[in-house]
Structure formats: C-alpha cells, structure tokens
Amino acid sequence: MIIIRNLIVLAIGATILFMAVRSLRADRLKERYAIIFVLTGLPFLILALWRDAVGYLANFLQIDYRTLALIAVTIFFMLMIFKLLSIVSVQERRITTLAQHVSILMHKQGLTDPPDEDNQQSTS
C-alpha cells in the first residue's frame, strides 16, 4: 500500500515537472511560470522519496500530523492564489495602459469622431 502511495505521489510530481519543462521548451510557458511549476512539483518528489517527512516535521514541531498537513496545504494554496492574482493585476494594468495609448493614437490620427454637441448636451 505504501509503495502504491509513493508511486502515485512520484507520478504527480514527475508529471508536473515534465509538463513545465515541455511547455518551456515549446515556448508556451515563460520561465517565471515554469519555476512556479517546478516549485509545485518538488514537494511531491520529496514526499515520494522521504515518506515520513511530514511526520518527522510534525514530531519536531510537536504538532498533530493532520494539523500540520492542513497548515501546509493552506499555505501552499494561499501562496499560489496570491501569485496568480498578482499576475492578473499586472496584466490588467498593462491592458488598461495599452487601451489608453491606442485611444490617444486613434484620436491623434483622427480615427475617432469628435463628440457632437447634441450628445454632450444630452449626457450633461
């Protein structure tokens, strides 16, 4: 049973690492995101090689095994969510800036209609 569990954890970690490296080589994934995937896959490989890592750490910290596992998973998900939200925020700012630049360029080239006096009076 323990061997099957180790094989499953090893397969998950190896699959994550393989997908990250494969996507990086095919230029479908930037290096910084590949690093995130590598850091995601490493704990699986460590746990597959050292089965009692969580139990050893729980005994060292004098915390229940299940509590430590829950804390670790919670911290992991919080860090991943924070990283993904920061990526989305940066991209949102870049898109807003790009839209503003396009609007300015279109206005300078006369591609936008000047506001009509009728439209200004109806909106005011």
Instruction: Domain ranges for the chain, please list them.
Output: 1-51, 65-109
pLDDT of amino acid 68: 84
pLDDT digits (tens, 9 = 90+) for 93-122: 999 999 999 999 998 888 776 666 655 555
Distance of CA 74 to CAs 12, 34, 69, 70, Å? 19, 22, 9, 6
pLDDT digits (tens, 9 = 90+) for 18-70: 887 887 788 777 777 778 777 877 887 787 788 788 888 889 989 898 888 88
Q: What pTM, to 2 d.p., does this model score?
A: 0.58
